[in-house]
Amino acid sequence: MRINLIQMDVRNAEPHLNRKHAEELMRLSDKADVYILPEMFATGFVLSPVGIAEDMADGSCVSLEWMKAMASELDAAVAGSLSVRVGDKLFHNRFCFVRPDGKCTFYDKRHLFAYGGEQHCYTAGMERGVAEFRGVRFLLQICYDLRFPVFSRNRADKPYDAIIYVANWPASRQEAWLSLMRARAIENQCYVCAVNRVGSDSVCRYSGGTQMVDPYGNIVASCPVWQEGCASAYVDMDGLAAFRRKFPVLEDADGFLMY
């Protein structure tokens, strides 16, 4: 399976322009099975979602319909998070994994970024999200989730083969971003597909650092820092299965029995 990681700049609260720009970058990249966009790719990281978050009370919204259209046209899954309103005063930072047939898997960000006040305007999700597509199981995660290894642990009740992290991760903490994604890949014997934005908003500068890491901790694809672009690599399911059989670390994990 080929994965395209789309590292892009995001204009604040201009979803039409951001969707158009994301579409341009996706079309410029080579054909893939999965296209991954950053966290809140349609609006930027908004901490005042009233009037900006998309209304998803009926189960859909403009950006989600755009994702469905792109997935159908490209015959691929499209993934990224959106700022959505699902009730009168209920907002989520919602990961949307959209398949070509329009079926979606959603995950609402569990670990809200209290340092930045995210918990005051969004409601945390409580359930993990695992999306299966073309024989690969993806754990869906958003930005700050990267710092919490227990929540993302590869478990027998919901095993996975790859983690997708979408983020607006500041340049000032770039080394933590790079180190933690390798740790998550190694400890869970999985691929990590981590997509960060570039550019700046009123609070932070974002240098990117978009990468794909294999189960050994090797970086197999990356985007240049501070630049928009696409990184592309393959998930080798046969190789992953062979590695897990040969070196069954997960069988020794607390509470985990994989085989």
Q: Which residues are catalytic?
A: 39, 109, 143
Q: Pick from 21, 9, 256, 31: which is nearest to 155 by CA?
A: 256
Distances in Å between the Cα of 241 and the Cα atoms of 89, 235, 247, 248 are: 45, 11, 10, 10
Count of Cβ atoms closer than 10 Å to residue 114 Cβ: 10
Which of 132-157 are b and which e, b meaning 16 or more Cβ less than 10 Å from the residue's Cβ? ebeebbbbbbbbbbbeeeeebbbbee
Distance CA 186, CA 175 (A): 17
Count of Cβ atoms closer than 10 Å to residue 160 Cβ: 21
Q: What are phi and psi of 227, to 5 degrees?
A: -125, 145
User: Strands 54-55, 77-87: parallel, antiparallel or unpaired by DSSP?
Assistant: parallel
**Inter-residue contact 115 to 149 (CB < 8 Å):** no
